[in-house]
Amino acid sequence: MAERPYIVGNWKMNGTRAMLSQARAIDRAAQNLMKVEVALAPPYTLIHPVHREAEQIGVGAQDCHAGNEGAHTGDISAGMVADAGAKFVILGHSERRQDHGESNALVSVKGAAALEAGMRVILCVGESEETRDAGKAENFVTRQLKASIPESLDNPEESLTVAYEPIWAIGTGRTPTVDDIGAMHRAIRATLVERFGEEGGAQVRILYGGSVNPDNARELLAADEVGGALVGGASLTAESFLGIVIAAAELQDQPA
């Protein structure tokens, strides 16, 4: 696992102000688990309230528009989420790609907007079950990654995290084998090194996402080149999310 693992909760379209107590509990516990970098991406409506609660954890958005401002009813710009307290944006999540037809090109320009607004980007990639069964997963994911990275990005160690999330593992309780995760993360690493050079490419954390829970976290986080986790369902309560954070902290304590 990376020097300091990164565990990010993606609340998706869940959460009202009643959930702020969960965010507070996560934040307080994270203050005693400093070996792990902990963050939450609540829905837009809770970014500022969670930001106000957070003394330790990072707060981010789950998406942003590619433009700065203007006549885009219902959309939210990168500058707006940054103003609300977001320090990063999750982009290219498969639910955005599927539900909103987001292309790699759009994800890439959204990333440029997020960087411009001074935020970090967590870029999601992942293959469908069909693509995996056809033996084309690594090829698909590495091409998706190359085409989704913002062209303007030149300091990857500071501004980029990649999240590998096989679509068939999201919310299903199914996960790839540790060997398959390791193989995919090595392929992603090679792509990052190709794009950013040895030094820059080596420092980007690559998260695994898809049905991570407190019971499987230890095993998944120990896979080759896994620098943390992007967690959906299990991030909705402090208890289960902290179970994952604690697993990451315990792995840090283990001799390599």
Q: Is 209 in the site for ligand PGA (CB under 6 A)?
A: yes
Q: Site for ligand PGA (CB under 6 A): which residue of 231, 238, 244, 245?
A: 231
The stretch near ligand PGA (CB under 6 A) out of 18-26, 140-148, 163-171, 186-194 is: 163-171
139: tokens are 């090829």
Of 95, 165, 185, 225, the catalytic one is: 165
- Contacts with ligand PGA by CB under 6 A: the residue count is 13
Distance CA 66, CA 162 (A): 19
Q: Site for ligand PGA (CB under 6 A): which residue of 91, 226, 230, 244?
A: 230
Q: Is 232 in the site for ligand PGA (CB under 6 A)?
A: yes
Tell me whether residue 62 or residue 79 sits nearer to ligand PGA (CB atom): 62
Minimum CB separation of residue 165 from ligand PGA in Å reads: 6
235: tokens are 């991030």
**Long-range own/partner contacts, residues 144-149 (CB < 8 A, 24 or more apart):** 144/92, 144/104, 145/188, 145/191, 145/192, 146/191, 146/195, 147/104, 147/105, 147/108, 148/91, 148/92, 148/104, 148/107, 148/108, 148/111, 148/123, 149/108, 149/111, 149/123, 149/195
Minimum CB separation of residue 152 from ligand PGA in Å reads: 25
Minimum CB separation of residue 39 from ligand PGA in Å reads: 12
Minimum CB separation of residue 192 from ligand PGA in Å reads: 20
Q: Site for ligand PGA (CB under 6 A): which residue of 210, 240, 248, 249?
A: 210
Q: Is 118 in the site for ligand PGA (CB under 6 A)?
A: no
Active-site residue flag, 93: yes
Q: Is 204 in the site for ligand PGA (CB under 6 A)?
A: no
Tell me whether residue 79 or residue 96 sits nearer to ligand PGA (CB atom): 96
Tell me whether residue 14 or residue 252 sits nearer to ligand PGA (CB atom): 14
Active-site residue flag, 72: no
Tell me whether residue 111 or residue 232 sits nearer to ligand PGA (CB atom): 232
In the stretch 167-186, what mask flags binding to ligand PGA with x, by CB under 6 A? ---xx---------------
Of 93, 138, 185, 225, the catalytic one is: 93
* Residues of this chain that bind ligand PGA (CB under 6 A): 10, 165, 170-171, 209-212, 230-234
**Which positions are catalytic?**
93, 165
